[in-house]
A and B are shown apart, each in its own frame.
Chain A
């Protein structure tokens, strides 16, 4: 596809369950970012992958959160033992640094609701 693809678009889960959110970036984009956005709030940085470098995990709120990026392409954000405060929209973005502005291209987000 032409844009950043995220799945699922909506996920409702029970407290304590694990969830996986997937991001398929734009082909060829070397940088991939995950953000979290609570209702009516700004973007909270979670994690950043750039090429083969070690990811910047400084934004992950707890050890229940983890992410990987396989083959420099698809990324999965995993939340273990979900809590109600994890409810938010999780946004993925990719970027091709070194060309033009290098702006972020965002997916449509995965809305997570923890009951």
Chain B
């Protein structure tokens, strides 16, 4: 079974609108972390936001927020007020303690912001 599932290969959003990128995960480990990375066309991997499995509140970092629904095992990324520079690939990832802190990545979502 896939550890991380991203079901949206491509998404489009109008500039200044909000967009949600979906991510579901699969683990039986009670201790895990969820991460989102951005990869622009330049290829660099940029860390955006982190949510720990024991965190009670949803993580937020500027225009990024993580909609953490533990019972549903989902960790959707919400980008508010989209900007042209947000056009990139977005990867969801999970780190499990039980697997020695191995990181698992989803297949990514390509986001295009339309002016």
Q: Is the CB of A43 within 8 A of B100?
A: no
Residues of A within 8 A of B103 (CB): 33, 45, 48, 93, 104
Closest to A103 in B: B47
A50 within 8 Å of B by Cβ?
yes
Q: How far is the CA of A97 from the CA of B91 in the complex (A)?
A: 20
Residue from B52, B100, B101, B105 in contact with A42 in the complex, judged by beta carbons closer than 8 Å: B105
For residue B64, give the distance in angstroms from its CB to the closest CB of chain A: 13
Residues of A within 8 A of B33 (CB): 101-102
B81 within 8 Å of A by Cβ?
no
Residues 85-115 of A, flagged 1 when their CB comes within 8 A of B and 0 if not, give 0000101010101000111111011000000
Name the prevailing secondary structure of the B interface residues.
Answer: strand
Q: Is the CB of B50 within 8 A of A53?
A: no
Q: Is the CB of A101 within 8 A of B35?
A: yes
If A42-B91, A101-B35 touch, does A50 touch B43 (CB 8 Å cutoff)? no
Residues of A within 8 A of B105 (CB): 35, 42-43, 45
Residues of B within 8 A of A33 (CB): 103
Q: Is the CB of A102 within 8 A of B108?
A: no
Closest to A109 in B: B43
Q: Is the CB of A101 within 8 A of B50?
A: yes
A56 within 8 Å of B by Cβ?
yes
For residue B32, give the distance in angstroms from its CB to the closest CB of chain A: 11
A67 within 8 Å of B by Cβ?
no
For residue B101, give the distance in angstroms from its CB to the closest CB of chain A: 6
- Those 4 A-B pairs whose CB atoms lie nearest each other, nearest first: A101-B50, A106-B45, A42-B107, A43-B105
Which residues on B are within 8 Å of A, measured CB to CB?
33, 35, 37, 43-45, 47, 50, 52, 91, 93, 95, 100-108
